[in-house]
Structure 1
Amino acid sequence: MCRWLAYSGTPLLLDAVLYKPTHSLIDQSLHSRMGVETTNGDGFGVGWYTPDSSSPAILRDIGPAWNNRNLREIADHVRSPLFFAHIRASTGTAIQQSNCHPFRHGRWMWMHNGSIAGFHLMRRDLCLLVDPALFTDIEGTTDSEVMFYLAITFGLDQDPPGAVARMVGAVERVGREHGVELPMQMTVAVTDGQRVWAFRYSTQNTSRSLFYSSRVETLRKLHPEMPFLQEVSDDTRLIVSEPLGDLPGAWNEVPESSYGVVQPGADELFPFVPEPA
């Protein structure tokens, strides 16, 4: 499977989140504690927004994140208020740049940990559900990218939670038609550059790990000695496949079959239920 993080809040250098924490995403690429695989070395990607851009910049490569000099270089120089980072462990599709996350379409960015069981059986039928006007934009061969374009087809621009629910509903329906009893396993992050939605769901109700950071004002009271907490705004938030360290009170598990929204003002958490597409 994979590991990922989404950051939203005070503009930071990527280095502050990707490399500096005790159990950073770079450390997780070699020593994951909660993933299916300990090592996630089948490529990586980072995507970030700047105030002057309507779509995110993306850097992806097929090598492991832990020794990539280009990633180390940009992490010390790129500052952003919202970025995604993903390290990949392939579930069978090719190790190629177009299969590395995050995926981008217009202002949207998407990344996924998990898999569609039996994807090789369902791939044709799922691809036929993608809006023909979008189909030529699919560059790779992963289930994750097909999920993204299905969500766009089902109304991501207008209703992100509903679009993801309809995407899952379509995958589960097609899975049943092909005799796949438990097709969906996912944690997904998607953003339009302003808000971040994060989903945790699986057909078997035993989803991969996902956590969100506690409110900054709470952490300041618990850990007044930490300079980082004094430098970031109250609305700063991280969503991660596994915690970036062992700081007491810092991490909260996203409940099974639920999704959260990180946005200006109060963040929100809701139940997640697939819908018919």
Structure 2
Amino acid sequence: MLALPHGHDGHEVTWTWTTNTFCEWLEKAVEYMQSPHHNDLPPYPEQQEFVRLVWRAVRAGRLYMLACVVVLFYEYIITLDKEIESVWQRKKSVVSWLFFVNRYLPIATYLFVIPGVAFGNSHDFCVGVFAHLPPAMVVLSEAVIGALHIAKIRALWRYELNVYFSCLVTVVYVSQEILAIGMTVADVTVVFVAIMKRSIESHSIAGRELGLGGPGLGRLIHIVQRDATLFLISMCSIKIANLVMLIVFPYWNAVNWLCNHIVDVILTSRLFFNLRAETEGVASNGAEIVTLQIKFPHTDLELPVVPIVSDVLIAPTHSLAKQVHDHYLPKLTHYEPDNDPRATEKEIALRNRLFNIDGLGVAWYTTAREEFGECEGPRPVVYKILRQPMTDPVFQSICANTATLALFAHIRAASGETAISIFNNHPFHFGRWSFMHNGVVTHFQRIKREIIKEISDEALELVKGTTDSEHLAALFFTYLEETKGSKAWEYSHPLQDVKAALEKAITTILGIQKRVLEPSQPEASSLNIAITDGQQLLTMRFRNHATEHPPSLYFSTTAGVSLNRKFPGHPDKEGDNGAQNVKDVESHGAHVIVASEPSTFRGKDWELINKNECIMVGTDMEMRREKIQVQF
């Protein structure tokens, strides 16, 4: 959240800071500053306040640059005669003349920036230089400029200067470095966030017109923003080092300045070249290409070929739709490392072999609303029924004609304490997030009132059913609001923050159980939970008992190949699936499947998640396994 101390009406104005709103408001600010009398204000008070803030910052920056010009003029006038004499004595040296010209270029640069707005200049520079020149040529030109600056520093420090002038030189160049840091921040903000995002969106729209559906837009934006953050940190670190070495080691300062430009060019030019290569590949290959491979300086990410939902939920012999009366639980009899004899077949049957006959829910993610500018990121489409899935023609039609990169599905076995109702079917969706739970919050009816007291009004309004699972979800989103702001479920968040909010919700429920049921000891709760925003996944397997174990929960990073008809392999047996024109397995891309029971009978593809462990999969498709930090 970004809060300004004075809003349009004298009160505080609070903004939810997202890339979409930032880009829109930045464009409004540029329009305002380019208007003849600076009266082209946007209609909304929040945008007006943002535009005024940007305008004040630009005016302050111009005054600062004007002050730098004055100081530079003063310093240059003092040393001009000595520099002319030095250059004239070495008049046969081309480098000396180049040094002399380069010495006075900053004056022209600052005078050019002061009267105008540098937003368009940054865009033209990046598009005109980085998009057309080979990276080696740009690096070479920066190396030449760096060599000239080395000569400049050497020449200045050869003079026999008094203390006053030494201080003046130091102040001037420290001022230049401070200004350079500010301009670096501005360049990163404008070029990497605004211009790159608009470029990605335009190419994604072009891809959708070719029939590609535009998957991975949110991941592209995330990668660009992450690289921009790395770029900003690198540039600022180098420039801060400049401030130190300028005073202590002036020659090394010049070398560091050269490194600054080399790093700048490498990060920006590679980013632009890879983006252009990717979008050109999409435009040239047409609608046949549905695998989007993204390569950036710090990322080698390949998105999987989008599967048809029926290949996952219906086609396999042990698909979710057929797990109503059937179970397949490999590695479960002796699945825990403690080898406790009390983890018997009876305990396994107690929490894993119920009949799942009380309803089905499916959520798959699309970018339709994002493409119409109504929201940020993919949103879930939810379908729920109370009948068995294999007898529902609508469910089968949806699965046969839907493809998605993020899918949640759940078949319910009601606990008996809550009604069998459409509203009680999982998954539960809050904004862009979907939430599923397998297990039970014990003594829920006795502690329900206390749980509701902890839930925010906004989250409680979204609760439509009566289950322990949905109230747990509302409590989780309440705690996410505490750190991420009102209606946090409308936006994507780092998985560590999501994990922390979920751990806090579980800790709260366990504490309420102990407090309400005192002096009795509450029974343990099983909390197998899955949460996604369509681009990230967090899932956990948890039971608050020293020896008892939660229901089964498996994951696989390879089974998706046999659950996609475009690739060889069969989900139920060894050998081919008989499909024609199949793709290479290597082209499938990274994926993660989490399931209470494996969907395929290839046991080597599946691994049981440990007790009280969570799995997190980020937008980069890197999977992390961490212990759940909940005391009981």
Instruction: Give TM-score, length-normalised by structure 1.
Output: 0.88
Residue equivalent to 1:23: 318
Shift of 1:224: 8.0
Cα gap change, 1:217 to 1:101, in 2 (>3 Å): closer
Residue equivalent to 2:556: 213
Cα gap change, 1:171 to 1:183, in 2 (>3 Å): farther
Cα separation, 2, equivalents of 1:64 and 1:274: 36
Cα separation, 2, equivalents of 1:218 and 1:194: 19
Residue 57 (1) aligns with residue 413 (2): no
Match of 2:596 among 241, 247, 250: 241
Letter paired with 2:325: L
Q: Aligned to 2:551, what secondary structure does the other structure show?
A: coil
Q: Aligned to 1:121, what secondary structure does the other structure show?
A: helix
Match of 1:175 among 488, 506, 513: 513
Moved over 6 A (4+): 216-220
Q: Aligned to 1:30, what secondary structure does the other structure show?
A: coil
Residue equivalent to 2:427: 102
Pick which of 255-264 and 51-60 moved more. Answer: 51-60
Cα separation, 2, equivalents of 1:113 and 1:228: 35
Cα separation, 1, equivalents of 2:389 and 2:426: 12
**Normalized per residue, which structure has more helix?**
2
**Normalized per residue, which structure has more strand?**
1
Letter paired with 2:529: V
What do residues 63-117 of structure 1 show as CA deviations (whole Å, max 9, x unaligned)? Answer: 2223111111100011101010000000021011100000001100011100011
Residue equivalent to 2:444: 119
Cα gap change, 1:174 to 1:106, in 2 (>3 Å): same
Residue 140 (1) aligns with residue 443 (2): no
Shift of 1:52: 2.6
Match of 1:71 among 395, 408, 415: 395
Residue equivalent to 1:260: 615
Q: Aligned to 1:246, what secondary structure does the other structure show?
A: coil
Shift of 1:275: 6.6
Coordinate RMSD, CA, aligned: 2.7
Shift of 1:133: 2.1
Contact 2:554 2:595 in 1 (8 A): yes
Q: Could you tell me which runs of 5 or more consecutive residues in structure 2 were left unpaired when the two chains were aligned.
A: 1-302, 330-350, 370-377, 482-487
Cα separation, 2, equivalents of 1:275 and 1:153: 20
Contact 1:213 1:238 in 2 (8 A): yes
Residue 160 (1) aligns with residue 495 (2): no
Q: Aligned to 2:315, what secondary structure does the other structure show?
A: coil
Shift of 1:31: 1.0
Residue equivalent to 1:189: 530
Contact 1:210 1:242 in 2 (8 A): yes
Cα separation, 2, equivalents of 1:246 and 1:94: 34
Cα gap change, 1:66 to 1:134, in 2 (>3 Å): same
Cα gap change, 1:238 to 1:229, in 2 (>3 Å): farther
Shift of 1:41: 1.0
Contact 2:561 2:588 in 1 (8 A): no
Residue equivalent to 1:43: 359
Q: Aligned to 1:270, what secondary structure does the other structure show?
A: strand
Cα gap change, 1:189 to 1:14, in 2 (>3 Å): same
Q: Aligned to 1:81, what secondary structure does the other structure show?
A: coil
Cα separation, 2, equivalents of 1:154 and 1:232: 40
Task: Report the identity percentage.
Answer: 25
Residue equivalent to 2:248: none
Instruction: Give TM-score, length-normalised by structure 2.
Output: 0.40
Higher relative contact order (CA 8 A, sep 6+): 1
What do residues 185-242 of structure 1 show as CA deviations (whole Å, max 9, x unaligned)? Answer: 111100011101101101125111000013479999x978566883862312210001
Cα separation, 1, equivalents of 2:477 and 2:427: 15
Shift of 1:134: 1.8
Shift of 1:38: 4.2
Q: When the two structures are aligned, how many residues end up with a matched partner? A: 269
Q: Could you tell me which runs of 5 or more consecutive residues in structure 1 were left unpaired when the two chains were aligned.
A: 1-7
Q: Counterparts in 2 of 1:2-13, with a 5 A limit?
A: 9-13=304-308
Cα gap change, 1:38 to 1:172, in 2 (>3 Å): closer
Match of 1:89 among 413, 416, 419: 413
Pick which of 240-249 and 108-117 moved more. Answer: 240-249
Contact 1:37 1:89 in 2 (8 A): no
Residue equivalent to 2:83: none
Cα gap change, 1:161 to 1:232, in 2 (>3 Å): farther
Cα separation, 1, equivalents of 2:529 and 2:501: 13
Cα gap change, 1:248 to 1:36, in 2 (>3 Å): closer
Contact 1:26 1:65 in 2 (8 A): yes
What do residues 135-168 of structure 1 show as CA deviations (whole Å, max 9, x unaligned)? Answer: 1211000000001011100117451101110111
Residue 274 (1) aligns with residue 617 (2): no
Match of 1:230 among 585, 593, 597: 585
Cα separation, 1, equivalents of 2:628 and 2:536: 18
